[in-house]
Structure 1
Amino acid sequence: MAAKVFFLFLSLLFLHISLNHATSNPDSEPLLAFKATSDSSNALATWNSSSDPCTTWVGVSCTRSRVSRLVLENLGLSGSFEALTGLTQLRVLSLKRNRLSGPIPDLSNLTSLKLLFLSYNDFSGDFPASVTSLFRLYRLDLAYNNLSGEIPETVNHLTHLLTLRLEANRFSGSISGLNIPNLQEFNVSANRLSGEIPKSLSIFSESAFAQNPGLCGSPVQNCKTETDPTRPGGAIASPVIPARNPTVVASSPTSLPSSSTSTKSEKSTSHHNGGSRISPAALIAIIVGDVLVLFLVSLLLYCYFWRNFAAKMRQGKSSSKLLETEKIVYSSSPYSAQPTFERGQMVFFEGVKRFELEDLLRASAEMLGKGGFGTAYKAVLDDGNVVAVKRLKDAQIGGKNQFEQHMAVLGKLSHLNIVSLRAYYFAREEKLLVYDYMPNGSLFWLLHGNRGPGRTPLDWTTRLKIAAGAARGLGFIHSSCAPLKLTHGNIKSTNILLDKTGNARVSDFGLSAFSPSTSAASAPRSCGYRAPELLEGRKVTQKSDVYAFGVLLLEILTGKCPSAVVDGGSGGGYGGLVDLPRWVQSVVREEWTAEVFDLELMRYKDIEEEMVGLLQVAMACTTAVPDQRPRMSQVVKMIDEIRGVAGSPPHEGFDSMTESPALSEDTCGASQ
């Protein structure tokens, strides 16, 4: 008997512990309350009081044991979701395509909410006023419901909002006061709105305003205008207003026309028209005077415009000389004036169509950009071939032999994710490097170019692909010639180029061997990517490359330029530049990890886990202690795991010399 009592006691104790464990999560109660009132079909069967919501509950995702994401779409849920307003850590809420009804409850407790999707339900009542207090909101979708009333101008308080979808409701009134600066997706079609479309919303397509007969202005039909015979053209550029009774006049006598004034005017006109005629002599004098005035005016105009034209001509000649100089960008042929000096020659690597220096001199040239070692140009040769040429100006080269040996190593590196060196030219006062031309620009331009309305954002899949490709390219450089321990030395977004198929290609590698100095002052434009040890004057290493690559990943994730100048130079960076790793670490420390991500990425769903994964890789790469940073081969594997793709193909492995068959131990040793 005593044994049975003891066994019963243990059972009750175990049940009590289980229930305490299940109810220890403060989010369990509101979730179970919602299930009790809205899940008549038991679609949420995995939700039960005996388990933790962060384990197996369908549609529930957690961060630090609190529910942060709730996606319950197309499950036949009904009634109200007021119980869910107790999930104070919720960041994503999607209840699309259910049968929820009634007014949208007060959401002001959901201060962390970023994405809210309530479309395709039966919600009624006014626009939820509490939504306008959710200042972190990026996406708001209330489409296909029965909401009515006006759209309040307090929506303008949602300054981070990227998406606002309100179509297929019964909203009425004006939207002329709406002005949300970052809005990228907008739709109010199929409502009962009226009035003029504000300029801030006219950038959206006509379909965003369709089926609102009362709306007018760009991009739909122009607003009708009244005619006013007292104005030139008779038009008033304002929407139609119901006409007032034309028989009603103002009671003030001053508003009536003055008969005496009118009479005086008529008499004056009559006198002017019917008075004495002008004599022939006076008429001739008037004509001569007009001719003289016209002549003087013409003379003055002629002198004025001729002086400006002459100045522009002089300036044009000067500009044309500059353009001509810029056209012959590679060399002004200094050797022709020194016949005793031996000219250099173009040295080509395998599989490259040969050409001479004169071909480059004749080529149509376009500047691509200036870097730490010189200026890069796009050159179109006479035969139509296009190459990129870097003219080395700031490099410290010990001598011809050292230069040629180093180029022999770089020229034999071949990989899908690096920009191949095709040829070089060496002379006493001219050093040229010839590369494959990459037609799709740089990562820098894709991330930072044309920020504002009309910009095509760089999507997450492409960013992750570019990051993976750049990692492979840098990893290949690090492992391709083990005795030399090759480095890049200048990893940054302007040196990650894209070929015609969109593959990321690492450019400008191997030039750090000619760097005059590694101090911070020597390369202020690259400071944002430089490892802390380089700022102390140490040499570039593969570990410092890993740090710079980590900063590059942060740039991809945040959309912020690491070398952006801070006002007053007090941004916590080096030399007045943003220290991006330090900023990210401070934000993450405050447990606002989501705040570091680029606003343009918030439009994409189901990528939060991948972004956090890549952020962890970036933070590992930017560790202050060099020995604690991963090797690039490890970085490649981590990014591949985030992408969910298989590991590197055998020919792209990083632990062997077989990736570039032309490289041998002799070749590597040649430049030692």
Structure 2
Amino acid sequence: MQLMASSLSIKCYLFLAILLFVMYKSAIAQTGYSEKEKEALDALKATFNIPFLNDNWTGIPCFLSETSKWYGIQCGSNGRIAGIVLESLGLLGNVKVDAFIEFTEMSALSLKNNYILGNMMNFSLNQKLAHIDISRNMLSGPISSSVLSLGILESLFVQDNELSGRIPELNQSTLKALNVSNNKLYGPIPTTQALQAFGSNSYSGNSGLCGPPTTIPCGITPTGTPHSDSGNKNGSSDSDKKDSDTCSECAMFYILIAVCLVIALFLSVLYYMKYRKPKKVMKEVITTSTKPLNEESKDGEKKVEEGQAVSSVGGQQEKGKLTFIGVGEGAAAEFGLGDLLKASAEGLGRGIFGNSYKTKISGKQDVVVKRIRDLKPLVNEEFNKQLQLIANLKHPNLLPLLAYYHSKDEKLLIYRYVRNGNLFSRLFGERGANRIAFKWSSRLSVARGVARALEYLHLNATSPNIPPHGNLKASNILLDENDMVLVSDYGFASLVALPIAAQRMVSYKSPEYKRTKEISKESDVWTYGSLLLELLTGKISACTAPPGVNGVDLCSWVHRAVREEWTAEIFDLELSKHRIACSGMLRLLQIGMQCCDPSPEKRPQMTEVAREVENIRITESGVDSD
């Protein structure tokens, strides 16, 4: 009887399992869920292979809801993918031409401002696709002819790529927006009604394009081409000899001219790459519109044309001006945006939020211009408010913001130039015979200055859920001509889009974010602890290592070294000679380990940390062998 009952129970369980499976499959079928769409998204995820998408794109993208839990995925009412929007995520990879053929219900695709390689995708099966934006990438090859089959195409943006070939003869009556500028396209622009409806700006930056709406006519033979002489073939031998000598002299002359031109071109390229190119990039931010700034739109609100430079000063929008704030107010009359554009600019490098340029203004202080990107979609008033909050943070160890510039397409931050570089270069720079040793007293001074700055930020934080700094690392700590510590790039966590912050900012690499997807002031404390361990060990932390550099999980490595009692091996070789200051180094090591505790609630507050670091200075620096 027991065997019969047990067998009956097993059969019941199997029956219920099969019933639930059938019901689940039926529910999926009714929602329109497509397994092939999910597989296509998984293939995209594998192509890009960034931690944010790897963690976020799990489960089913569209199921029983029009709101997807997958970042950048838009769902339709039928459970199918209706849109893919992955903008400014730093995506790098070669996307296959047929990557989107399974998304037959998709109406919008935007991959702008990434680093996507390969040829333009095939959209011949995406007949509901109305909006395409793949601008500001690294795509090559021709514009896909598949766009000709998109009967309801409304916008096509492919500018700022490496596309070549001719423009397809688009003639959809639905096409309202087009931009193919800054590519390598050539040939006459098709004379279809749809393509001729757009201005020359939609085609600019393609030197090979001709015909209307551009001002470059097609089929013009360059002037000045030498033509052959069809004179008497039976001329005298003296004349032939004279002609031959003359031709030889001409040939030598032209060769000399050619050599001079090559040398001049080479020197010009060197000058352009070092000085003029950064200046040209800065000038792009002040493209003047042909329409007046205060022209009213149909709904009665004042609008600003795309490419027109504006900033808000005293509540009034002014064209092409810097907004000076904080400590920069007194310097407002010293220089303006025009002075920046006239000055020579030198590229300093590319940070996680954009490029930086050192600008030399005649008779004025040198400044650094940061061209920032990947921000939240903030309107002018919101951007002004956030920057004013940053500018109100004033401390001797914080690098003050002098001014900013804001327009629809460009955001610039202006800081004073700090001459002695950053802590990363000082700490991890070349260690040859010419290196100046980074002494214990100097490293302790850095630890103290950063602790003071971070304590001030924590005491004056404007939001409890956002770390006051969020991106503390050695490259964001500057040293002025007196080796005074100046912490930079604070407050950006309130400006940057969440996916970008999660991918690039140091606080988001803390243990708690990996577990709970939450950050706080304690995340800043963790980054400070990582910085202390870098100062003491001379090793680069894995959480702050730049691309191409292999860092070390310093928190785990130091804890293991202390546990196994080989603490003496921890310290940088440059510190090993400071035997008298050993107790101070050990105390700073203890503070760093406490700050790096995996549990946020066990970490000390920044006020306590700053006081402890100050006590090291009081008790130890007097006997420091430096």
TM-score, length of structure 1 as denominator length: 0.46
The structure with the larger Rg is 1
TM-score, length of structure 2 as denominator length: 0.49
